[in-house]
C-alpha cells in the first residue's frame, strides 16, 4: 500500500481526473515549468529559488520520492512548486495546456542500459516532438544524464530536431552548465568521477 502523502505541496491526481487549474492552485498566472522524474526533489527546490517567476510542477511516479520532494519544499517555504505522482506522458496529455510550458527539465532519466531495453527510454526524438506541442515559443528544454550513450544520443538528435535552437552552440552538449543546480543522481555520478552530459535547447519563436 502507498504511504499517504499529506503535504499541502502535493497535488493528488489520477488518470482520468480533470486537469488541475494551475492559476488558482499557484494563486497567480506565472508560466509553468515541468520537471519530469524529480526523484527526491533536491534539484527542483534549488531551481525554484533561482526562478521565482515560474511555477514549478515536480513530477514523478515514485511515491517515496514525491514524499521526500514535498518535505524539502515544505521545509524551504517555497510557494512556487507543486508535486504530482503520475506517469509523465499521461499527465502531460491531460494536465498541460498546449503551448503553456516555459521550461521542461529531465535530469538523469532511467538509462535502460541494455540494448534490447533502449526503446523504453523516455527521451527520444518522438518524445521531444510530442513535448514540443506543450512548450511555449522560447521555452527551455533541459536534459542531463550521467549515461554517455544517452547523452550523445540526445545531443545528436536534438541537433537536427526541427523547431529548437541550441543554447550551447557550437557545442551540442557540455559537461557543466551555469545556473543549473545539481541533483542527487548528478552528484552521485560526479562523485564517482563520471561526467554529466547537459543539453540545452530553446523552442524556436516561429514554430507552432
Catalytic (active-site) positions: 110
Q: Which is nearer to ligand SAM, 185 or 201 (CB)?
A: 185
> Residue holding cell 516532438?
129
Q: What is the DSSP letter of 115?
A: G
C-beta of 75: minimal distance to ligand SAM in Å? 18
Size of the site for ligand SAM (CB under 6 A): 20
Is the CB of residue 89 less than 8 Å from the CB of residue 56? no
123 is a contact residue toward ligand SAM (CB under 6 A): no
CB neighbours of residue 207 within 10 Å? 11
C-beta of 84: minimal distance to ligand SAM in Å? 9
Q: Hey, CA dihedral for 84, 87, 88, 92, is it positive or negative? A: negative
| Most distant CA atoms of the chain, gap in Å | 49
CB neighbours of residue 100 within 10 Å? 14
Residues 91-110, interacting with ligand SAM (CB under 6 A): 107-110
Task: Single out the residue of 33, 34, 47, 59 in contact with ligand SAM (rule: CB under 6 A).
Answer: 59
C-beta of 37: minimal distance to ligand SAM in Å? 3
Binding residues for ligand SAM, rule: CB under 6 A, are 36-39, 59-62, 65, 87-88, 107-110, 122, 183-186
Amino acid at each position: 500500500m502507498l504511504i499517504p502523502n499529506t503535504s499541502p505541496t502535493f497535488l493528488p491526481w489520477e488518470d482520468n481526473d480533470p486537469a488541475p487549474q494551475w492559476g488558482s492552485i499557484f494563486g497567480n498566472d506565472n508560466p509553468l515549468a515541468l520537471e519530469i522524474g524529480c526523484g527526491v526533489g533536491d534539484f527542483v527546490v534549488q531551481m525554484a529559488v533561482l526562478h521565482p517567476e515560474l511555477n514549478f510542477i515536480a513530477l514523478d511516479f515514485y511515491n517515496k520520492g514525491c514524499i521526500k520532494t514535498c518535505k524539502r519544499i515544505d521545509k524551504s517555504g517555497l510557494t512556487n512548486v507543486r508535486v504530482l505522482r503520475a506517469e509523465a506522458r499521461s499527465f502531460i496529455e491531460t494536465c498541460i495546456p498546449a503551448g503553456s510550458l516555459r521550461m521542461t527539465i529531465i535530469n538523469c532519466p532511467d538509462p535502460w542500459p541494455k540494448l534490447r531495453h533502449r526503446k523504453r527510454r523516455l527521451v527520444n526524438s518522438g518524445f521531444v516532438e510530442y513535448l514540443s506541442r506543450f512548450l511555449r515559443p522560447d521555452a527551455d528544454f533541459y536534459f542531463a544524464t550521467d549515461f554517455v550513450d544517452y547523452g550523445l544520443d540526445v545531443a545528436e538528435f536534438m541537433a537536427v530536431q526541427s523547431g529548437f535552437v541550441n543554447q550551447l552552440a557550437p557545442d551540442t552538449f557540455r559537461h557543466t552548465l551555469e545556473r543549473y543546480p545539481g541533483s542527487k543522481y548528478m552528484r552521485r555520478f560526479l562523485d564517482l568521477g563520471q561526467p554529466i552530459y547537459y543539453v540545452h535547447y530553446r523552442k524556436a519563436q516561429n514554430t507552432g
